[in-house]
Structure 1
């Protein structure tokens, strides 16, 4: 997700469809799909950017490659709380450098810049993508009135036709720290909002619309997500990023669909582990209980849900 209003996918970002870039001038494409109106940038700024709040700027761009890339490139010159939203993103990235794109105005594609130091030790920054996952799921559930869950570490799941589908994802990347700008984290968030069945590239993809959302109006959805993210982040930062004291660890576990499931973790170096996901530890790692009685924490890799327990 880059600084110009595009949003990258975070860890396994939303599964979108090939981007349907409009040809012709931006004005000609602005209302090319009347069911997908543009975001109201001025209204969003009035609602979200305020004195004393976390969000310090909000920029909406018609299109960009990646909002994460754009925002990370400007991390040293921007204060904490900068938000970059894109109506269309052509080179969004997910975990393991996966590429992702979706039709213009079919979802929420944005990145935010957070600078938790010196309040939070760097070793706890790894909780930020999980925190973002909880905040996104909470905000969307409240406004769209759909059941959401999280697949470890931070894929957003919804139910479509009785099946779990991925409707969003999060990617966190370290940024800044040069020229006295202060190191930070850029969190890219992508959510499929109005994606139609014919636009889904794979069977495992989903959207809020397909999950029966009460609204696919992106303005209130976006406001809800950013307000939820602000509250979660402020609470977490106030206790030095402690996942127990902030109740982040507890809240994440309560909404994680991976726990209690048999899973296969595909790890770097062509190694895999199969076991029951039994916990998320204090470092945000997924703990697997394997068949030989060993509990092994997994900090990175792809996790595949095999069956319920």
Structure 2
């Protein structure tokens, strides 16, 4: 592990049971402000649609809300699902944010719909072939930010000439190959799609083509982490997260529910196995207990940056967990530094 490996956050502004979207937005802003002081590098929000309990349907608006309430932490999309949008509009909106908050905006891009197929068809007005056009849409988006676009018949203002870092999101060898070919940083969704993590990380690094913006590969891995002062407390708090994941397995949108002492009464053995498979890269326990597995994970994927997702019902418990994540990462980085010294 590089001694300077940064750590960041992915958040979905998920509603708590018994609360509304306003509460989710306020909690997300407070979380961003708190982790900014803890030294986290980025705070990303994702695009989802037709999900009653996920309040991140308009990521650029949420990004503006978070950027306005913070000072220096990078705010980004994790991501904007590009096939749902015109590249011109994405450039205009991100350019707007970068103009207001210079040097703080990240643009993470994905090709999944962020919803079910019926809703995707409504979003894209029947143009489902736009998924296959994703590589071309990436090039169009890049061109709108380029200073060389000054004499084009269609230009994006105020994006033109702005240096906004772009990241490609994915969970497959296809996305790893495309990120490598385009010379873009790659963010792997190992927090819910762990199957191809090692292969994708290796494929991306081996096939990376340097670009003007990115001379070297840069690999970010997203994981779930729920830390507490005791194993029992961590497992208890994780039950809210497990119930949330159970909704995904069942094809339903569940809010964050209060933690419960035992999950056996809630899910079947088959559902438990499905959740465990989906959440293979989850680190739940005390900082001491999860550290060996986390260090192996980072080394296994040659991870340049760790992005953490932590879904718990109580906001105070979330803040405690992120504080423990920060402390753990500082210890891991210190150890890596000592091992690196001649």
Shared fold per TM-score greater than 0.5: no
- More strand by proportion, 1 or 2? 1
Question: TM-score, normalised on structure 1?
Answer: 0.27
- More helix by proportion, 1 or 2? 2
Pair member with larger Rg: 2
